[in-house]
Amino acid sequence: MIMKFNNIDLKANFDDNYFDLDSIIEEIDVEDDTKQEDSADDSEKTSSLDDIIYPLYIPTGTSLVDREKVAKTDGERIILTFDGEKPFLLVEETASVEKEFSIVPTYGEPFLLADTVGALSSNSITWVSNGIEYYIVSDAMSQVELIEIASSISAIPTMK
């Protein structure tokens, strides 16, 4: 690795409180308060699913046979059942917005989708995008086919 510098300012000027820890913490607290207000607005937006999002890619010989909407305590869940040569189940539900960091157990290997990272196992893939949590499971499909379906959903712009 070679690093090349074209210009170095050895006499940089900083404000007196630039490295003051107390002022930095105060700025962070103000930003956090603003973000919490924004996240409260976001939680209202993600409490219900306005539209069902269907995959753009469905394997040949497979079709939608059932659509069920279930109310949760903090939102909604939609279960789409596809049957045929390559049956699978697609679950879409509102993602809850956490006010603090939390550890969420996830099973599978990380897999990069269009706008997020999903967890891919041998027969399922799960991810969160635009306030919606998605879960696809199938015993008859390969990981490649699961990824194709997930990618066709992730490519859909869901913002209004």
Q: Tell me the C-alpha to C-alpha distance, in Å, between residue 85 and each of 17, 53, 58, 82, 139.
A: 67, 22, 11, 10, 11
Among residues 112, 134, 116, the alpha carbon closest in space to that of 124 is found at 134
In the block, residue with structure tokens 């607290």: 29
| Fold adopted by 20-160 | Phosphorylase Kinase; domain 1 (3.30.200)
> In the structure, what pLDDT confidence band is assigned to residue 154 with cuts at 50, 70 and 90?
low
For the segment 48-104, what is each residue's pLDDT rounded down to a tens digit?
667 788 999 999 999 999 999 988 887 889 999 999 999 999 999 988 777 778 777
43 within 8 A of 96, measured Cβ to Cβ = yes
* Residue spans per domain, the chain: 20-160
Residue type, 80: L
